[in-house]
Each structure stands twice: as structure tokens, then as C-alpha cells.
Amino acid sequence: MHCRNKENKKMGPKGWFILKLLMFQGLFISHSQEQEDFDFFYLVLQWPGAYCDTKRSCCYPTSGKPAADFGIHGLWPNYKDGTYPSNCNPDSEFDKSQITDLVSSLKKTWPTLACPSNEGFKFWKHEWEKHGTCSESVMDQHEYFENSLKLRDRANLLQALTNSGIKPDDRFYDLEKIRKAIKDEIGFTPGIECNKDPERNDQLHQIYICVDTSGTEFIKCPILPRERCPSRLQFAKF
């Protein structure tokens, strides 16, 4: 009996179709892996006076009371429908040794205010593992922290507000004036988040600024976070 094994068998039209389909899929998969798996970043900056002036209170980092200025909360990859990825790569653990040159800047402008008091590595580890690992297609750990620091400096929020007469003096300011002062500085409308102090006053807590997928340029926000601020809010002393 004449018998051919599978490998030698000539491929018919159905075989060619399947082969082409597999090749196409292969191309598509390798291409999509090179692209970002998110649409933009939120650079989220926190006002320490508001973080500390709540029922929960706060603890200063071991290096002492941070400057009375906006600090970084995180650089968060986001989708334009408002949802977001998180904890994308359990194999990519936070590694202190990759950011030794940035630690002194991180201590100054990405200070932790959570209790118990600590140096800050816990906060940076949390932000890298929850958010940073979702933007590894565009930046590694060093770039994630370096870009965040550069963006925060560029936003120059406190100066922008002070230039418009908006100061952290426990007084109340118009939400729209705060928004305009920031827009005039960075070129785009920011998102503003409030929290409440123990007397239930609404305070300026966090500012959301949108950043392109390279993590270097401010952009118009594809979607702003849902806001619960009233029309006037307190800019707490720190």
C-alpha cells in the first residue's frame, strides 16, 4: 500500500488558508505587543495640606515635613473610556537599585504622607506595581519615575495658583478660578478632586493632568475624572 506521512502530504487550498491565517495572526500579535496597551496617563498631584487635614490624619516621612507644595501621587495609565489597567506584571517588582540617582528628588517631590512614617519606598513600590507595570511597553522603572518627576516640575502648579492670587491660606476659592489658573499654565483643563476636613469643609485635594502615551507631553484630557467639588473650596494651609 502506498502511504505518505503527514509532513510530506501536499497542502491543499484549505491548508494554505489556515497557514496564511496563522501567519497573519502572528504578525498582528507581534505588532500589537509593540503598541501601548493604554490610551493616556493621568499625572496625579496631591496637596499635602488636604491629605493631612482629614479624620484619618497623616504621618510625615522619616526625612521630615515635606515642602508646602504639590507632591506626586502617581502617573497612571488610563483608557479613554475612563477605565484603567492595574497590576499588569507581577514579575516586574519594584527594584530600589534602579532608581538610586532619583531617590533624593523623590523624597522631595514624591513624599509619602501615609502612616506609619517611612522613607517613601513603600509608596513608590505601590505606584510602580499598581500603575507603572501597565506602561512598561513605553518606559522602564527608571523612566517611569524620572518622567513623573519632570512632569511634576513642568506643571508648576503652586506657582500657577499663586500667580492668580490663590494661596494655601485656609481661605475659600472659586473652583473655576483654580481650574483656569492651571489651564493658563499647562495649556489644558485639569481634573480637580476634593476631600473633606473633619469639619466637613471641601478642600482642594488632587489635580489630574493628562499626559500622552510617551509620558512626556501634556495633552487635552480624553476624559476627565468624575468631580465632586462644590463651586468654592478651601485651599488648606500646610
Is 47 a binding residue for ligand 5GP by CB under 6 A? The answer is: no
| Residue type (1 letter), 45 | L
Q: Which of 2, 7, 126, 131 is catalytic?
A: 131
Say if CB 197 and CB 11 are below 8 A apart. Answer: no
Contact between 123 and ligand 5GP (CB under 6 A)? yes
The reply on whether position 42 binds ligand 5GP by CB under 6 A is yes
Cell 502648579 -> residue: 157
What's the CA gap between 130 and 151, in Å, rounded?
19
CA dihedral (181, 186, 190, 195) positive or negative: negative
Q: Note whether 74 binds ligand 5GP by CB under 6 A.
A: yes
Q: Is 127 a known active-site residue?
A: yes
Task: Report if residue 215 touches ligand 5GP, rule: CB under 6 A.
Answer: no
Q: Assign 135 to helix, strand or coil.
A: helix
Question: Active site includes 31?
Answer: no
CA separation for the pair 216, 231 (Å, rounded)? 31
> At 176, which helix (H) or strand (E)?
helix 175-186
Closest by CA to 119, choosing from 103, 130, 131, 142, is 103
Q: Minimum CB separation from ligand 5GP for residue 132, in Å?
A: 11
Rg (CA), the chain: 24
What is the number of other CB atoms lying within 10 angstroms of the CB of residue 163?
Answer: 12
- Nearest distance in Å: CB 188, ligand 5GP: 16
Site residues for ligand 5GP, window 93-112 (CB under 6 A)? 112
User: Binding residues for ligand 5GP, how many (CB under 6 A)?
Assistant: 15
Q: Which is nearer to ligand 5GP, 84 or 172 (CB)?
A: 84
**Rounded CA separation 166/74 (Å):** 24
Per CB under 6 A, 148 contacts ligand 5GP: no
Nearest CB to ligand 5GP, comparing residues 76 and 218: 76
Pick the binder of ligand 5GP from 113, 151, 182, 210 (CB under 6 A).
113
Least distance from C-beta 183 to ligand 5GP, angstroms? 20
Q: Which residues bind ligand 5GP (CB under 6 A)?
A: 42, 46, 51, 73-74, 76, 78, 84, 112-114, 123, 126, 130, 225
Catalytic residue set: 73, 127, 131
